Amino acid sequence: MPKRGKKYLESRKKTDTKVKHSFNEAVKIAINSSYAKFDETIDVAVRLGVDPRHADQMVRGTVVLPNGLGKEVKVLVFAKGEKEQEALDAGADFVGNDDLIEKIKEGWFGFDKAVATPDMMGAVGKIGKLLGPRGLMPNAKVGTVTFDLARAVKEIKAGKIDFKVEKAGIVHVPMGKVSFGVEKIVQNASVFLETILRLKPASSKGTYLKGIAVSTTMGPGIKIDATSVKDLFK
């Protein structure tokens, strides 16, 4: 068992982590129990009734959070020709082609998201082993391989996140910062959960939302009553 710090233990005393709360209550508890000196991130973990080992039960998608994530996202775009200027005009932080590929080969990873035009993927694929493990590889399924660079860059800057169910059947995503307050976090979460429900695989049987928890970067997980999620959409 990992050794917990005094502040974490004090924070945990403020709530019974075994009790299930409504979404609003859980977020409020998580925020009130935050103790770090920095603006902690609010994370949501959803355990789904799916088996990711089967392709027809894979849950994966993207969503643009209405209130963003509360942090600057540095976007790199692999493009050439007139598409380079389009990416720059849209707000991309780094734009290039072979020059960026060589820089990454040398160990540079000063960006958070990568986008590429389809005609660049042959070259980008050569550094797939470097980008993939870091979650930085452009992927058409999440909209980061596209000729519509203006839209892709602006959505990422606005708070677009991509998610994928893990082997244990859990989807783990950030919902913003503690400083957002309860209302903005709940607004972000409602959009995310609505997307999760919409992506329910037809082959998924039984209970789909098996468990939900919310936590801050440094704090304990606060369990949520999954049946209360429907109240978010009213």
> For the domain that residue 175 is a member of, what is the CATH number?
3.30.190.20
Q: How many structural domains comprise the chain?
A: 2
| pLDDT above 60 for 6 | no
| pLDDT above 70 for 17 | no
pLDDT for 206 equals 87
CATH number at residue 125: 3.40.50.790
Tell whether 150 and 87 lie within a shared domain: yes
Tell whether 79 and 138 lie within a shared domain: yes
- Its pTM surpasses 0.85: no
77 near 140, Cβ under 8 Å?
no
Tell whether 38 and 137 lie within a shared domain: no
Residue 103 CB-half CA count within 13 A: 13
Tell whether 94 and 127 lie within a shared domain: yes
Tell whether 141 and 152 lie within a shared domain: yes
What range does the domain containing 199 cover?
A: 6-69+160-233
Q: How many C-beta neighbours within 10 Å does residue 39 have?
A: 15
State mean pLDDT over 211-223: 91
Query: Which positions ≥6 away from 203 have C-beta within 8 Å?
Result: 54, 56, 57
| pLDDT above 80 for 4 | no
Tokens of 6: 């005094």
| Domain-ending residue, one of 132, 157, 182 | 157
1 domain residue, yes or no: no
Tell whether 86 and 144 lie within a shared domain: yes
Tell whether 204 and 152 lie within a shared domain: no
| Domain-ending residue, one of 157, 189, 219 | 157
| pLDDT above 60 for 67 | yes
pLDDT for 13 equals 54
Residue that has been written with the tokens 């999760």 in this structure:
196
| Domain-ending residue, one of 100, 125, 157 | 157
pLDDT band of residue 19 (cuts 50, 70, 90) is: confident
pLDDT for 228 equals 81
Tell whether 109 and 92 lie within a shared domain: yes
Q: Which of 173, 188, 195 has the alpha carbon at shortest distance from 24?
A: 188
Distance CA 134, CA 152 (A): 20
| pLDDT above 80 for 97 | yes
Tell whether 169 and 142 lie within a shared domain: no
Tell whether 146 and 189 lie within a shared domain: no
